[in-house]
């Protein structure tokens, strides 16, 4: 085991994860290295498939490749994942972080498997019973961090409170928001509405005003209006909200395109409106917001969308890079521990 320094940021990549692996992973790695030349990578996966692609990128010559023929499939069942186990490209990439051979790992593979292996090998932070998946999205005024996005389909009130604590720490440290406003996703803003465990979590969060800047309930239509910096939900609801937002954005963008294709005048209009539409497209590009962080682990694990391209994958690497470079994990662990200790005393 070598000692890790921050002169070189070492990232483990699950080269076999995602719809177009290993091509997109390697292309994305090269793009990210152009932006952050102090990265080096270890690719995990089938050497025969990886090496020929790596060779075509000049800036990847200092990278390692650890060979394995085992990998987790996108639709693998949990039982299969456990059987294929520790020697899959995904598991090896995680173990490299556990063994301090890499600062962080990025995978575009099966989310459930990535969470299971991450919990197994990296273990959960002190005070946190379950890790959560968190990601940032654009809003009217900036960005919002939402969690959990699918790691824990069902949650009790304690899970939700722990997510609130981690989400607040994340928004504070990574997004640079001094006093992040934290909300719980619900079907109404009134205290009497919603599911019991969400109402109980809300009551407790109001009592924790010394450690949490809790804003109360938020409805789905307010997630992107800039009224909250952190939106907390169980993994089922968070995932449905995230996917529905993605689908709505796609639908609207396609409808807009069709509107511009309807007549000669609107095609002409498109030419004049191109710059505005381009700025819209760039601002809303989901690839820009690719890279979800697994919060609550003793290590940095970032999940890329499985269907993204190299630009999107490079952005997921960028998220991991920032987490390492600015030493977010330690600060996050300290802030989280302080809050969960307070919580234990208070409740």
Taking the C-alpha atoms of residue 190 and residue 186, their distance in angstroms, rounded to an integer, is 9
Cβ of residue 259: shortest distance to a second copy, in angstroms?
4
User: Please, which residue, 107 or 224, has the CB nearer to a second copy?
Assistant: 224
Tokens 């609107």 sit at which residue? 266
The one-character DSSP state at 259 is H
Taking the C-alpha atoms of residue 118 and residue 98, their distance in angstroms, rounded to an integer, is 9
Range list of β-strands (E), 33-178 = 39-45, 64-67, 104-107, 132-138, 143-147
Cβ of residue 314: shortest distance to a second copy, in angstroms?
23
Per DSSP, what are the bridge partners of residue 132? 295
User: Please, which residue, 5 or 255, has the CB nearer to a second copy?
Assistant: 255
Taking the C-alpha atoms of residue 343 and residue 166, their distance in angstroms, rounded to an integer, is 13
CB atoms within 10 A of CB 122: 21
Cβ of residue 217: shortest distance to a second copy, in angstroms?
12
Cβ neighbors of 75 (< 8 A, separation 6 or more) are 110
Sign of the CA dihedral with 250 first, then 255, 256, and 261 last: positive
CB 42 within 8 A of CB 54: no
User: Please, which residue, 273 or 347, has the CB nearer to a second copy?
Assistant: 273
User: Please, which residue, 8 or 77, has the CB nearer to a second copy?
Assistant: 77
Cβ of residue 115: shortest distance to a second copy, in angstroms?
13
CB 286 within 8 A of CB 253: no
User: Please, which residue, 213 or 237, has the CB nearer to a second copy?
Assistant: 237
Cβ of residue 116: shortest distance to a second copy, in angstroms?
13
User: Please, which residue, 34 or 279, has the CB nearer to a second copy?
Assistant: 279
Hey, what are 65's tokens? 């490749």
Residues that bind a second copy (CB under 8 A): 75, 77-78, 112, 138-140, 150, 153-154, 185, 187, 190, 192-195, 219-225, 233, 235-237, 239-256, 259-260, 262-263, 265-266, 268-277, 279-280, 283-284
Taking the C-alpha atoms of residue 75 and residue 109, their distance in angstroms, rounded to an integer, is 10
Hey, what are 14's tokens? 């699950």
User: Please, which residue, 37 or 272, has the CB nearer to a second copy?
Assistant: 272
User: Please, which residue, 35 or 193, has the CB nearer to a second copy?
Assistant: 193
Cβ of residue 326: shortest distance to a second copy, in angstroms?
29
Cβ of residue 107: shortest distance to a second copy, in angstroms?
17
CB atoms within 10 A of CB 158: 17
Cβ of residue 157: shortest distance to a second copy, in angstroms?
16
Taking the C-alpha atoms of residue 216 and residue 203, their distance in angstroms, rounded to an integer, is 9
């Amino acid at each position: 085991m070598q000692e890790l320094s921050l002169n070189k940021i070492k990232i483990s990549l699950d080269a076999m994860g995602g719809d177009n692996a290993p091509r997109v992973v390697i292309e994305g790695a090269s793009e990210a290295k152009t932006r952050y030349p102090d990265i080096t990578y270890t690719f995990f996966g089938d050497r025969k498939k990886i090496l020929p692609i790596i060779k075509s990128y000049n800036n990847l010559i200092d990278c390692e490749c650890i060979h394995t023929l085992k990998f987790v499939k996108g639709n693998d069942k949990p039982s299969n994942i456990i059987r294929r186990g520790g020697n899959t490209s995904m598991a090896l990439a995680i173990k490299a972080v556990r063994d301090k051979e890499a600062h962080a790992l990025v995978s575009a593979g099966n989310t459930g498997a990535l969470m299971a292996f991450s919990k197994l090998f990296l273990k959960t932070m002190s005070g946190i019973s379950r890790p959560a998946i968190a990601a940032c999205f654009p809003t009217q005024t900036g960005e919002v961090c939402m969690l959990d996005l699918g790691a824990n389909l069902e949650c009790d009130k304690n899970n939700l409170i722990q997510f609130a604590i981690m989400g607040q720490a994340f928004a504070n440290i990574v997004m640079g928001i001094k006093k992040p406003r934290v909300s719980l996703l619900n079907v109404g803003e009134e205290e009497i509405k919603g599911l019991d465990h969400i109402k109980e979590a809300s009551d407790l969060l109001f009592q924790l005003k010394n450690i949490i800047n809790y804003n109360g309930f938020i409805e789905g239509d307010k997630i992107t209006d800039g009224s909250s910096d952190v939106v907390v939900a169980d993994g089922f609801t968070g995932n449905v909200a995230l996917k529905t937002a993605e689908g709505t954005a796609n639908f609207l963008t396609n409808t807009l395109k069709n509107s511009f294709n309807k007549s000669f005048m609107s095609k002409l209009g498109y030419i004049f409106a191109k710059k505005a539409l381009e700025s819209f497209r760039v601002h809303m590009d989901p690839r820009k917001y690719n890279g979800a962080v697994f919060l609550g682990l003793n290590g940095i694990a970032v999940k890329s969308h499985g269907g993204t391209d190299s630009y999107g994958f490079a952005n997921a690497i960028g998220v991991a890079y920032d987490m390492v470079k600015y030493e977010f994990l330690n600060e996050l662990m300290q802030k989280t521990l302080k809050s969960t200790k307070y919580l234990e005393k208070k409740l």
